[in-house]
Structures are given as structure tokens and as C-alpha cells.
Structure 1
């Protein structure tokens, strides 16, 4: 049973998918290999006769396409080399196949392009973070015998478009970095020409740096103050907005404020985190540079899935 703003128990809302046939076709298309590798792809790099050193044989798009297959199907480098070669042969193309050592080397400095669909009007962005494992045992072993000291995690920070559910920005840090200090770098990944209307986040983003970053983008910030939060001085950037939120929570209660402000849309970021982890809760790469490319490729996969079809749901009365 859910609860309304007054705390009275209410049945949870049920939803119906209105475009199931279209969405079903999109789910099937997610396994179509032609989505990830196409004859129209620019595969071989144009050789520059005046450049120094050995010219690159493959474009970044070709390396990204093969690494996408690796991440999507959770293959080792040698296996994905064989898979890409078989696809090229089946397509009747005369392309050369990147060697697994080339894939490993190029992944370190690969510039990954994350596609997204342009939107009209101001954006509503939701932000959150999660952890992906690098080293450590599985959950069963931890539950049975306890955690080992060598468990290593990387922290992934995402900004999600609340309307399209697409990843618009991604950063990866270690566990020592706080959530709030990463926000300016995340917002810098959203083009200046796109207007941001609202940014939503949990209490971890109740910091002065986050308010300053949202003010620079002229965006409203929906972030609940911490439980022991005190009013800020008037000369602090964002103090008027935050202090008004603090007064509203004290007057209405935190539960009612969340419903009234639309704070619950922030849960879309948690949904995106869950989808990200379905591609694997463990990072295959060992060094941070390759791990960044791996996480960015995961975001490419999620956005491509969205472009193939999303469910349109309506609440049942």
C-alpha cells in the first residue's frame, strides 16, 4: 500500500502501456546486430601522409562499434574480435578486423559519442550516482563469509533527461569524491544552447557548489535540505531558493513537499542506474581510462535502446 500526502494508506497506482505493439518491436530490435554495426559505418581511417608516426587504421566509430558489442554481450576482447570478424564476413564486406590488442590500446583514449534526441523546451534533468565493482567477490560470498578488504568500486555519476529517459552526462570517480562536487562538470557536458529548466537530486546535492552550478545555468533546483539543515545567509548563492524550500518543508512536512514540488521524478535516475547495472555490475577494464570508456559505451547502449522504442503508459482510474 502506498501513502498519500497526509499519510493515509492508498493503493498503488496501476498503469497500462498504450503502445505495446510498437514497444514490443523495439524490444526485439535491441538484439538486432545491424543496429550496432552497419555497412554505412565509416570503418577505415583516412591516412594522413603528413602526420608523424604510424597512421591509425580504424576510425573511432569502428572501435566504438566493436567495443559496444563487447559490452553489450559481455565478451572478452579476443571473443569480440572473432564476433566482429564473423559479422563482417556475413555482410560480404572487405573490411579488416581490429586486433584485440588494438581494441585494448584504443579504448584508453577513445572519445565516445553518446547519442541523444534533441528536445524542444527547457530540460528537466535528474541526477544521481551509483557504484560499479572492479574487484571483489560476488554477493553470495560476501553474505556467507563477509567482505574481503580488496573490494574496489568506482562511482558513476549520471544526469538523466526526465522526459526522454536518456543519459545526458556521465562522470566516473572513486568513492572519495562527493556527489555535489561533480555536478559542475556534469552540467558542462550539456550544451550551453540547451536551456535547463529544472534539476532534481537527493539530499546529497544540498551544497553551495550545486546551487552555484544550477544558478549559472539559470535552472531551478529541487533538492531537499538535509535533516539538520540550517538557513543560509542571504549573500550565499541560491540562499533564497534553498531557504524557501526549508520553510516549505517545515510548514508542510517533507512528504507533502516532495509531492508538491515534483521531487519524486528524481526516481527516474534510480531506474537508469538499475538499467545500467543490467549490463553488468562489474567493470571489465582494470585501469581508470578504459573504465571511463566502458561506462560511456554503456550509456550509448541505454540511449540506443530508448531510441528503438519506449513504453507510453497511462494510469488506470
Structure 2
């Protein structure tokens, strides 16, 4: 019997694995150590303030190294602003942002304004549902699902009871492992 270091392996699901690698995206998370995770109480009843806003996109793009290329930027309709489109404006970057329901065409002063006007016209012509399918906007839901998993993991870490914290983490890790297991090569020893 051979030792495991000298054995040869064969991938049995090569076509499935190859397709999943082609579709797989890269998701990097950066956390600012000074970020406030829970908004401070205001003393009033009702919903606490929100920390996300569309004005964050230009700041995030400013942090990207100039030698890195970004093919697509997919965001929801809240990012359909001139500042966001201006931040995305790069020769090889394509913005997949649904125009707002009451969107009006902008003056075609730049390439991104022309592309945004084309999205407005296509959305009106095809309808919002078909435009989303045609433009590839539905891929955004995969990222949203993964971010939901990360947020739920964070909620488990904030649980007060240690037993609940451990149980919550185990459930979240199981979910993340199942998500990660999609597209893993299946190998078996050969001869």
C-alpha cells in the first residue's frame, strides 16, 4: 500500500467544479476598528439610526489601489446618484445599478451618464423585472445572502448567555460551511 503522499488523485466532478470556479466571486471584508457597531440610544422611542448610506461608495472606491481592476459594481437603487456613478467611472468598470422608479435621464456629459441613461431607457422598455435579469442584477442576491450569514455570525458573538453564544456560532458555522462546500472538487485515489 502506498503512503498518502505518493498517491495520485482524480477529480470526479470536474465539469461541475470548473463551472462553479468560473462563477465564484471574491468577497473581501474590511472592518474599521473605530466603527461603532451598535448605535447609541437617543432616549426616544422607535427605530435607531442607520449607519449605511450611499455616500459611502466614493470613500470605498478611494481605498482601492490604482492597479486593481473592477469589472462590475452592483448596488441597489439607493446608489443611483451622480456621486456614486462618478466614483464608479473607470474605463473598464460597469455599473449595474437599477434606476430609481422616478428616474429622469441626465445630461450626457460623460460616459457614465450616457450608460446610466441607457439603463433608464432599457428599464422603461423592458420593465424593471426583465431589466434586472438582463443586466445580471440578480447576482447581487448571492452577495446579500453571504453578508446575511456574516451578520448572523456577529449576532451570535454578541449574545449575552455563553451557551446561546456557542450554539449560535455552531449553527452559523454549519451554514457557512454548507455555503462554502458548493463548488468543492470531489477527488478519489487512483490506482
Q: Shorter chain as normaliser: what TM range?
A: 0.5 to 0.7
Q: Is the 8 A contact 1:199 1:219 kept in 2?
A: yes
Q: Which structure 1 residue ranges, 4+ long, deviate > 4 Å from structure 2?
A: 132-136, 150-153
Match of 1:311 among 159, 162, 182: 182
Q: Is the 8 A contact 1:202 1:223 kept in 2?
A: yes
Q: Given the alignment of the two structures, is residue 191 of structure 1 paired with residue 65 of structure 2, yes or no?
A: yes
Equivalence for 2:87: 213
1:142-163 per-residue CA deviation (whole Å, 9 max, x = no partner) reads xxxxxx728645xxxxxxxxxx
How far apart are the structure 2 equivalents of 1:182 and 1:245? 22
Q: Secondary structure at the match of 1:281?
A: helix
**Structure 1 residues 196 and 124: CA distance shift in structure 2, 3 A:** farther
Equivalence for 1:239: 113
**Structure 1 residues 150 and 230: CA distance shift in structure 2, 3 A:** closer
Which residues of structure 2 form unaligned runs of 5+?
1-12, 15-24, 28-36, 159-172, 185-191
Q: Is the 8 A contact 1:124 1:199 kept in 2?
A: no
Which residues of structure 1 form unaligned runs of 5+?
1-17, 20-122, 126-131, 137-147, 154-174, 285-301
Q: Is the 8 A contact 1:208 1:238 kept in 2?
A: no
Q: Give the deviation of 1:283 after TM superposition.
A: 8.2
Equivalence for 2:45: 149
Matches within 5 A, 1:57-96: none
Matches within 5 A, 1:214-293: 214-216=88-90, 218-235=92-109, 238-281=112-155
Using CA pairs under 8 Å that are at least 6 residues apart, name the structure with larger relative contact order, 1 or 2. Answer: 2
Matches within 5 A, 1:113-128: none
Q: Give the deviation of 1:282 after TM superposition.
A: 8.0
Q: Secondary structure at the match of 2:117?
A: helix
Of 258-267 and 211-220, the range deviating more from structure 2: 211-220
Equivalence for 2:170: none
Q: Give the deviation of 1:208 after TM superposition.
A: 0.5
| TM-score after normalising by structure 1 | 0.36
Q: Give the deviation of 1:218 after TM superposition.
A: 3.8
Q: Give the deviation of 1:207 after TM superposition.
A: 0.6
1:66-118 per-residue CA deviation (whole Å, 9 max, x = no partner) reads xxxxxxxxxxxxxxxxxxxxxxxxxxxxxxxxxxxxxxxxxxxxxxxxxxxxx
Richer in helix (by share): 2
Q: In the comparison of the two structures, how many residue pairs are matched?
A: 138
How far apart are the structure 1 equivalents of 2:157 and 2:181? 27
